[in-house]
Structure 1
Amino acid sequence: MTMFNPQCLFDLTKQSLLKNESWVPVASQLIPFLIWEDLFMEAVSGRHMAVVEAMVASWPSPCLDLTSLMRDQQLGALVTLHSVFKALGVLLDQGPRRTAGHLRVLLPAAPVTWLDKELESLRCGKCSRAAPRKPLVGMEVVGDLSFQEADWNLLLSFLTCRVEEGKALPQLYCRKLTFADHLPEYQVIEKILANVQLDGVEELKIYYITKMDFLSMIAPYLSQMVHLKILTLQTLIPRDWILMHPPQDKHRTDQLDTIYKEFTSQLAYLRQFQHLHIIDAYLRGNINHFLKHIETHLESLTISPIYYTLDNSDLKSLSLYPCTRRLKVLNFSKNLLAHLNVKLLGAAILRTSDTLEHLDLSYCDLRDSHLNTILPALIRCSRLRLFKFSGNCVRTSILKRLLRRILPTKKSRCLVLPLPHNSDREDPLVFVSGLVPLLEGLGVLCKIHLNPNEVSFEVRVDVLMEQS
């Protein structure tokens, strides 16, 4: 090293600064911001938490963008965020900053769960991370908020601690709100939500909630989420709920019906609502409560409740309300429909046939007669790109009839179909190979793929240039 090597001198200077945080308050207004950011990233990567905490408390810019400053950090992210929130608490206790003004903090995204991945394919668009219109308090925190008490959820721990200590909270701007198991006390949730800019929420997820009165508590806040686009209700099972067919406890059923009415009535206030996903929930006779209040045209609808908890009125409601007229995605998988009037399902498919692109009827306990019933509606779905029918029980002749009626097509199309139930003793590869002459006779260029589970197969028709 020589005195003519400024890079080495700069590195030595950074190493010296990172050993002690006493310089931070004085240097925050003197060091150029690009160098300040570089020092911060060095402190984060080197796990110099005392320096990180001091730099956050003296942040010289109106925006602390942790999404970019912590982008490449894999290990130690929770430790860093713990120091960040500790410093933010100090700033909140001190009141509005006089030098740098309002501080906006952009938080990294929350961990991706299996449910996020499962529903990703059903979403027809991405939500934007809209900036708040104007600052309301001395500090703003921008990022997704999950009300699930867990070691990784440092934002919720930070907010809960301040509520319990009676201290001020920052203004919260969240694109996504999540409520899951291990919720804080309702009073804590309500005080935190009072500081959330609810008209900026675009996605709401409620799952693994075993207290049905939670929907009553959250209902008044739902009406304020006027820009909500996605609502997911996953695994809503009351404690000690006995699943019978039909349910024996009429009082409990009526109580649940009242809760659904109170919650779904707030959907009328949502002006940009596009995607509704209801999975593993007790719904018997309650789907109409959801659909009749929605005043926008849904793009995707998922209804996959607990087994045997749908009735004919639920299927009928799919054709009664304007919100289902322009569906692009209809996911009805894992509904046991054999005991219901499948003509009502066919009517729902026919109603949205001009726009429907994805249809999932897998594992619905459907048979030959059921497929024949809905086939006329399937034929009318000119935009259909993906049709899932695996897990149902149909014969070879019915499958071939299905292929003849919905192929050929002028658009790329993927069919996921079950192996016929009368081919138990036949090699699946032999059956799939036997479809080649049929498809060649239809004049379509396609690929047949036997899925690894050997209970279903895919027929892919690829069109390089679609004709309008």
Structure 2
Amino acid sequence: MSVGNPPRLLDLAAMSLLRDEALTIFSLEYLPTELFPPLFIAAFYGRCRETLKTMVQTWPFARLPLGGLMQKPHKGTLQAVLDGLDVLLAQKVRPRRCKLRVLDLRNTGQDFWSMWSGARAHVYSSSSMAPVVEDISRTKQPLAPLEVFIEICLKKKTLDEFLAYLIRWVEQRKASIHLCCKKLKIVSTPKENIKKVLSIVQLDCVQEVEVNCTWKLSTLAMYAPHLGKMRNVQRLLLSPIHVSAFKEQDHQYLLQFASQILRLQYLRDLHMESPSFLEGRLNQMFRCLKTPLDNLAITNCLLTESDLTHLFQCPNISHLKGLNLSGVTLTNFSPELLQVLLEKVAATLQELDLNLCGIMDSQLEAILPALSHCSHLRVFSMCGNLLSMAVMERLLRHTDGLTGLNLELYPAPRESYSSQGVLHQERLALLHAELLEILRDLGHPRTIWISPSPCPHCGVDICDHISPSI
């Protein structure tokens, strides 16, 4: 017979209190601090709204990580907590017991609840979990704006009920509530919803922006001033931005967008998927960068040799850790351009993606010396390029000294295909065996993936289910 863990005394005390909600509310002013979290958990799952409302007003911690308890956003629970904040905000001076500064609605804070509920052992951290030491002078001052943290993903025609209610509530209390969103994702939603959210959120709190829907360059320019106010953005992802035929007005749109990049002093990661507006104009964008980038992705678009020249001349790409030019056709480019670019970033580069770039033998041979000096390289992918077996052998030998390289994805050798571009599985198997023998001769344990393009099984240009060669 197995016996489960008996309830802790704190849990039993919390459950006992909740049997009489009126008594619970009356007792909160005198309740020991360590009883607040288990009581809040019990009230949360028991939907004791009046208890939740009152507990917010006496919460003895700086942060209330409510999102860590919500598997799915629940409007009723949110209403109870916000009602409690309304009572708190209506008071002219801070209550003696309450230390609340932040309401966190993100899916975080599980460590806090786990520690206080006894779900797992946890080292007590006075900096993050202890109640804020009471400052007598502060209790006599008006409340500072309270921060509400949330992650926002706009992907529907209408705002979901939870987010819509929160935005209305914040909009009516903008002087005393700051709505903070560190991650903002826009997938597909009407412009009026985007404008509504951007007008409510504290833009200088945003650290990551992802736009994953088709916008025109004029739309990007329209939102550019909002982007410029997100001065703490570290990661910006845009995909795709559509321009059918570049016109004079589009030039102004590009300048409007680029001018706001000047304000992003903490930008580290820049990802642009299908930025058709960049062809021949990359210098207008990159001369606006104010700080060194860690990761740069410009994918599935056309660039000119002049663009690539401006790229390696840009001082703020010299410390790149990740470079992704997948889908940028480099077939007719001078081999030296890619070589100089790699030399510029060789000291720091950790990930390099050159998939579907139309790279030929001469271009790969030109970059091999620079590639062999990328001593920190961990990931190298160049699937979908047409390379001969001889050049692939030289590639394996040049990269053998890169001991940190642990993920290599290469195309099937050119000899695997017929003159009409049809893959011959028998030829591929023989060449695969030859590559495996080369790896054995080198004597350094490596794992490489050889990916035909298109994949004979799924038909895509780059697939991830091909068995590796070791």
Over aligned residues, Cα RMSD in angstroms? 3.8
Unaligned regions of 5+ residues in structure 2, if any? 1-5, 109-127, 129-137, 417-422, 457-462
Aligned to 1:279: 273
- In 2, Cα distance between equivalents of 1:21 and 1:214: 53
- Which amino acid in 1 is paired with 2:151? D
Aligned to 2:371: 378
Q: Secondary structure at the match of 1:383?
A: coil
Aligned to 1:60: 59
Q: Residue 418 of structure 1: CA displacement?
A: 0.8
Q: Alpha carbons of 1:354 and 1:169: their partners in 2 closer, same or farther (altered >3 Å)?
A: same
Q: Larger deviation: 211-220 or 397-406?
A: 211-220
- In 2, Cα distance between equivalents of 1:270 and 1:380: 32
Aligned to 2:49: 50
- Contact 1:220–1:266 (CA<8 Å) still a contact in 2? yes
- Contact 2:59–2:100 (CA<8 Å) still a contact in 1? no
Q: Residue 276 of structure 1: CA displacement?
A: 1.1
Q: Residue 343 of structure 1: CA displacement?
A: 3.7
Aligned to 1:36: 36
Q: Alpha carbons of 1:330 and 1:373: their partners in 2 closer, same or farther (altered >3 Å)?
A: same
From 231, 235, 239, the counterpart of 1:234: 239
Aligned to 2:90: 94
From 257, 262, 269, the counterpart of 2:263: 269
- In 1, Cα distance between equivalents of 2:74 and 2:393: 56
Q: Secondary structure at the match of 1:210?
A: strand
From 353, 357, 360, the counterpart of 2:346: 353
> For 1:354-411, what per-residue CA distance to the aligned partner results, in whole angstroms no more than 9, with x for missing partners?
2222110012233334323433432343332221011222222221222233334454
Aligned to 1:328: 321
> For 1:224-280, what per-residue CA distance to the aligned partner results, in whole angstroms no more than 9, with x for missing partners?
44433222223334xxx64xxxx3xx43xx333322322222333333332111123
> For 1:150-178, what per-residue CA distance to the aligned partner results, in whole angstroms no more than 9, with x for missing partners?
78856642343247768756113443333
Aligned to 2:131: none
Aligned to 1:434: 434
Unaligned regions of 5+ residues in structure 1, if any? 1-5, 111-128, 461-468
Aligned to 2:292: 297
> For 1:181-209, what per-residue CA distance to the aligned partner results, in whole angstroms no more than 9, with x for missing partners?
2154465345314xx161x4332323315
- Which amino acid in 2 is paired with 1:137? A
From 227, 241, 249, the counterpart of 1:255: 249
From 73, 78, 93, the counterpart of 2:74: 78
- In 2, Cα distance between equivalents of 1:58 and 1:425: 72
Q: Alpha carbons of 1:347 and 1:136: their partners in 2 closer, same or farther (altered >3 Å)?
A: farther
Aligned to 1:137: 144
- 2:304 corresponds to 1:311: yes
From 191, 199, 207, the counterpart of 2:199: 191
Q: Alpha carbons of 1:459 and 1:291: their partners in 2 closer, same or farther (altered >3 Å)?
A: farther
- In 1, Cα distance between equivalents of 2:81 and 2:212: 27
Q: Alpha carbons of 1:217 and 1:272: their partners in 2 closer, same or farther (altered >3 Å)?
A: same
Q: Alpha carbons of 1:161 and 1:149: their partners in 2 closer, same or farther (altered >3 Å)?
A: farther
- In 1, Cα distance between equivalents of 2:34 and 2:70: 19
- Contact 2:338–2:367 (CA<8 Å) still a contact in 1? yes
Aligned to 2:105: 107
- In 2, Cα distance between equivalents of 1:85 and 1:209: 37
- Normalising by structure 2, report the TM-score: 0.73
Aligned to 1:464: none
- In 2, Cα distance between equivalents of 1:60 and 1:410: 53
- Which amino acid in 1 is paired with 2:439? L
- In 2, Cα distance between equivalents of 1:26 and 1:214: 54
Q: Residue 416 of structure 1: CA displacement?
A: 1.1
Q: Secondary structure at the match of 2:68?
A: coil
- Contact 1:159–1:169 (CA<8 Å) still a contact in 2? no
- In 1, Cα distance between equivalents of 2:347 and 2:194: 44
Q: Residue 324 of structure 1: CA displacement?
A: 1.0
- In 1, Cα distance between equivalents of 2:257 and 2:177: 28
- Which amino acid in 2 is paired with 1:215? L
User: What percentage of aligned pairs have identical amino acids?
Assistant: 25
- In 2, Cα distance between equivalents of 1:445 and 1:9: 56
- Which amino acid in 1 is paired with 2:262? A
Matched positions, count? 413
- Contact 1:43–1:51 (CA<8 Å) still a contact in 2? no
Aligned to 1:403: 396
Aligned to 2:122: none
- Contact 1:227–1:272 (CA<8 Å) still a contact in 2? yes
Aligned to 2:387: 394
- Contact 1:82–1:154 (CA<8 Å) still a contact in 2? no
- Which amino acid in 2 is paired with 1:275? D
- Contact 1:202–1:228 (CA<8 Å) still a contact in 2? yes
- 2:333 corresponds to 1:337: no
- 2:224 corresponds to 1:219: yes
- Which amino acid in 1 is paired with 2:36? W
- In 2, Cα distance between equivalents of 1:404 and 1:64: 55
Q: Alpha carbons of 1:370 and 1:161: their partners in 2 closer, same or farther (altered >3 Å)?
A: same
- In 2, Cα distance between equivalents of 1:320 and 1:9: 66
- In 2, Cα distance between equivalents of 1:105 and 1:358: 38
Q: Residue 326 of structure 1: CA displacement?
A: 1.4
Q: Larger deviation: 342-351 or 9-18?
A: 9-18
- In 1, Cα distance between equivalents of 2:64 and 2:171: 27
- Normalising by structure 1, report the TM-score: 0.74
- In 1, Cα distance between equivalents of 2:317 and 2:8: 65
Aligned to 1:122: none
